[in-house]
Amino acid sequence: MTGVEVDLSYCVVNTNGREYLLACLAAIERTHPPAVSHEVLVLDNHSDDGSVAAVEQSGHAVRTIALDRRAGKAENDSRLLSVAQGRYCLLLNEDSELKPGATAALLGALNEHPRAAAAGAQLLSTDGEEKDCAWRLPGVLASLAGVLFLHKLLTVQSRGRRARRVGWVQSSAMLVRREAAEEVGYLDPDIFVYSDETDFCKRLHDAGWQIFYVPTARAVHHDQLTTDLRSARRRIVEFHRNRDLYMRKHHGTGRRLLARALNAIFYLERALAALALPRHDPRRYLLHTHQELRPSRGEGIREAAEDYNRRARIAP
């Protein structure tokens, strides 16, 4: 349906997640509300696992955008939003699987609330456990709540059984009103990954839009991340780098530095507690502590992608 506006564009970003991607597309097909016109877009982030060929052979009606280099999540989501034909765009990771009724519930929330720019689903682990997936926007008060062990009570907002306004929602399964995304200039490509949707929701708030968490919309978000600390180092670097960038954009220097100090205390407290708790690694929390205090140091996921792109260009 390219070139003709439809009700909904499913926008999936994939990086070397072939089997997850095929399951994601199957879930879209299985759960899509039949009365809603739609298109399915897959942006392949220069995968080398045969993802594009697998989609082409799958029989799913998909428009594929195959990149010739690895790019960041914010840049990729923005590209999909800018080429989509839908009035609404459902951003999905390749490892997200919509449950029955999820799309209809998200559409219902945006249709019911004309100033709602985005609505996030309740995310589930592979085992079906509910994950935290909506929060208050970051700032000094949120950081203080963490230090006082009140994070779950005061910062996490993905609870309750009715749709509610929240600060920000995770983009693993987030429905976006394309009009609102265009108004704020989509996601910020300077934020490679992590804090990209936080910044997006903050800018939508600033423009007078609202963000909703919709608990009746449910989606499995498979956890592909290893627990190995060495492998996690790049993710930790990227997380703190981009959280600091968010604070630079939206808070003054004093509040940014105060939040940084509070966040470091938060992780140090957890490191001390992990010494006495089974299946907790204090080294991971200490790495978070050090990275929070010096967020610009180290190599993150961005550098890994840049290195991949360099190697891809010189490969025979």
pLDDT band at 225 (very low <50, low <70, confident <90, very high): low
For the chain, which domains are there?
6-221 (3.90.550.10), 229-314 (no CATH)
**What pLDDT is stored for residue 280 in this prediction?**
83
**What pLDDT is stored for residue 23 in this prediction?**
97
Least confident of 1-5, 65-69, 82-86: 1-5
**pTM metric for this prediction:** 0.94
Q: What is the mean pLDDT of residues 267-290?
A: 92
**What pLDDT is stored for residue 4 in this prediction?**
67
Cβ neighbours around 139 below 10 Å, total:
18
Task: Check if the beta carbon of residue 116 is closer than 8 Å to that of residue 212.
Answer: yes
Residue 15: phi and psi, rounded to 5, are -135, 100
**What pLDDT is stored for residue 278 in this prediction?**
85
Task: Check if the beta carbon of residue 214 is closer than 8 Å to that of residue 106.
Answer: yes
- In order, the DSSP letters of 35-90 are TS-EEEEEEE-S-SSSHHHHHHHH----EEEE-SS---HHHHHHHHHHH--EEEEE
Q: What is the mean pLDDT of residues 47-64?
A: 95
In 3D space, the residue among 271, 287, 273, 243 whose CA is nearest the CA of residue 143 turns out to be 243
Q: What is the mean pLDDT of residues 29-44?
A: 97
Q: What is the mean pLDDT of residues 85-99?
A: 97
**What pLDDT is stored for residue 223 in this prediction?**
77
Cβ neighbours around 207 below 10 Å, total:
12
In 3D space, the residue among 100, 147, 89 whose CA is nearest the CA of residue 264 turns out to be 147
Residues with Cβ within 8 Å of residue 200, at least 6 apart in sequence: 74, 118, 168, 171, 181, 184, 186, 187, 188
Q: What is the mean pLDDT of residues 244-267?
A: 97
pLDDT band at 263 (very low <50, low <70, confident <90, very high): very high
pLDDT band at 52 (very low <50, low <70, confident <90, very high): very high
**What pLDDT is stored for residue 228 in this prediction?**
66
Give yes or no for residue 300 having a pLDDT over 90: yes
Q: For residue range 140-151, what is the model confidence (pLDDT) as tens digits?
A: 999 999 999 999
Rounded to 10 degrees, the C-alpha dihedral 209/211/216/217 comes to: 90
**What pLDDT is stored for residue 14 in this prediction?**
97
Q: For residue range 193-221, what is the model confidence (pLDDT) as tens digits?
A: 999 999 999 999 999 999 999 999 999 99
Per DSSP bridges, beta strands 173-177 and 86-93 are antiparallel
Q: For residue range 169-195, what is the model confidence (pLDDT) as tens digits?
A: 999 999 999 999 999 999 999 999 999
pLDDT band at 2 (very low <50, low <70, confident <90, very high): very low
**What pLDDT is stored for residue 226 in this prediction?**
52
Q: What is the mean pLDDT of residues 110-114?
A: 97
**What pLDDT is stored for residue 1 in this prediction?**
43
**What pLDDT is stored for residue 11 in this prediction?**
98
Give yes or no for residue 229 having a pLDDT over 90: no
